[in-house]
Amino acid sequence: MVKGLRSRNSCRLVITIFHAAGYSHLAVMFDFLGPKNYSYRVVNAAGKRVDTVVKCKGFSLRYSAASHINFARMRRQVRNFVKGKDDPVAVYLQAIRRTKDHRIVSEVQRKIHRVVYKKRKLARESFRTLPFGY
């Protein structure tokens, strides 16, 4: 384990995958906002940050979208969700569409990025989840 860093329950899966694949790096911070919507930070054995990975279904993370959807923003969205606040981010993207008469047009598309969590109940004081009916 990296000196000064502690393992968190939310990133055990990622750490296990990294060790099984033979990497010498660890994912020390992992944020999950919904299905196929996560980010994690990777450090090497010395504790120096190597990379930050952001995956977000439905968004092409090019420069304009990546400036709004990044590791820090996703981390803040998770923290606000646990506190009971909704923290959506509006992202405007250029989209190429076809019209009914087969013309190609470029239009601005607005997408909302937010935490999606509908499967379980959240115990806000302990960051744990419980099945519905518990």
pLDDT in the model for residue 66: 83
Question: Does residue 126 form part of some domain?
Answer: no
pLDDT in the model for residue 1: 38
Question: Does residue 46 form part of some domain?
Answer: yes
| DSSP for 63-113, written as a single string | HHHHTTSSHHHHHHHHHHHHTT----EEEEEEEEEE-TTS-EEEEEEEEEE
Q: pLDDT (tens digit, 0 to 9) for every residue of the chain, 134 residues total?
A: 333 334 444 444 455 555 545 556 666 788 888 778 888 888 777 777 778 888 888 888 888 888 888 888 988 988 888 788 888 999 998 889 999 999 999 999 999 988 877 777 777 667 677 777 76
pLDDT in the model for residue 3: 36
Nearest one of 74, 79, 72 to 56, comparing CA atoms = 74
How many other β-carbons are positioned within 10 Å of the β-carbon of residue 86?
A: 9
Q: Are 42 and 51 in contact (CB under 8 A)?
A: yes
Domain that holds residue 82: 9-87
Question: Does residue 57 form part of some domain?
Answer: yes
pTM assigned to the model? 0.66
The total of structural domains in the chain comes to 1
Structure tokens at 123: 């115990």
Question: Does residue 118 form part of some domain?
Answer: no
